[in-house]
A = this chain, B = another copy of it.
Amino acid sequence: MTDQNAKGRILALCGGVGGAKLALGLDKIAGERLTVAVNTGDDFSHLGLHIAPDLDTVLYTLAGLADPERGWGRADESWNFMAALNELGADDWFQLGDKDLAIHVERTRRLAGGETLSAVTRDIGARLGLSAHIVPMSDDPVRTQVITDEGNLPFQHYFVRAQCRPRVKSIDFEGAETAALSEEFSAALTDPNLAAIVICPSNPYLSVDPLLSLSGVKEGLARSPAPVIAVSPLIHGQAVKGPTVKIMAELEIEPDALSIARHYGGVLDGIIVDVEDEGSVGPLRAMGLEARAAATYMKSLSDRIGLARCVMEFADDLNASKT
C-alpha cells in the first residue's frame, strides 16, 4: 500500500502560519502531488489592493520567502513604503512590506483585468518555482466577520487592528453559501487518486471553518474514499501562535484535542495530537476516531517534514485498514 499511496495525491486544507508549516512539510515529500486549498475568508481590500493573507503565507512559506519569526510577510523585508504612506496620512494599521507589496499590486492588477484568483495564484506559484498546487478555496468572495462584544468586525479589523482583543461571540463567513469552490479545489476533493486529505493545524474557527463552510466541502470530505486527517493545533491546551485558545474560551469550549475532534465532527477519519497530549488518544478512540500522537511543534524544517511523514503514514495505515 505504501508504495501506491506514495504516488497518490494529497489535498491539504490550510489557513495561515501554523497550517503553512505542515503544508511545507507535505510539499517536501509530495511536491506536485500536493494541492493546498487555502482559506480566503481573510482576504480584504486595503488601500485599493486585494490582500490575500493566507494565500501569501502559504506561497511565501513554500517558496522559502516567508519571514520565519513574524509569521506573515517576507523575510529580509524593508518598510519604506509604509513610512512614506504614513507621511501622506494614509491608513497604516495594516503593515505592507516593500517586497510583499509586489504580490498585492500584481494580483490586484490581474484581478481587475478579469482573471480569477485561481489563475493569478497558479501563475505566481509557478513564478516562485513551486511544484505543489496552491489554490484559493473559491474564486468568489467569502469574507470572515467576527461577531464580538465590540460589534461585527471584518476579519483583519479583528485580527490586526484590534489585535484579537474583542470577545468573540460567533463567526460568520459572508458569501460562503453562494461561493463556488475553485475548480482546482473541487477537482482535488473528488480526485480518485487521493491518498489523504489533511486538515492542517490552522485555527479551526477562523481559518479552517471558512473552507468547511463552503457548499459541498463537508459532503466531499465525508464522501471521499481517502482518509481525512486533522492535526490538532493545540499542544497541552495552548496554540503555538494566534488566538485559538482565547476564542475557544470565549465560545466556552475546552481547549483540548477532543474539542477539536468534536468541532470537525463527522468529516474526520483520524486526528493527530501532540506527544504531550498522548493521554487524549484513548478518549479520542472512544469517540470512534482513529488517533495517534506525534511531535506537532514544528520549529525546524525537519520537524515539518517529520510531521508530514507521520500524517502520511497514518493515512497509509487508514487506507490499508479499509482494504
Contact = CB atoms under 8 A, between A and B. Distances in A.
Contacts of A80: 77-78, 80, 97-99
A114 to B, nearest CB: 13
Contacts of A112: 48
Contacts of A78: 78, 80, 98
Contacts of A48: 105, 108-109, 112
Interface in A68-91: 74, 77-78, 80-85, 87-90
Interface stretch (A5-13, A123-131, A192-200): A123-131
Interface residues of A, number: 32
A49 interface: yes
Contact of A98 (B47, B81, B103, B124): B81
A27 interface: no
Contact of A105 (B74, B85, B109, B124): B85
A156 to B, nearest CB: 16
Q: How many monomers of this protein are in the complex?
A: 2
A106 to B, nearest CB: 5
A124 B84 contact: no
> Counting chain B CB atoms within 10 Å of each CB, which of A49, A82, A99 scores highest?
A99
A83 B74 CA distance: 13
A75 to B, nearest CB: 12
Interface string A128-155: 1000000000000000000000000000
Contacts of A106: 47, 85, 88, 90
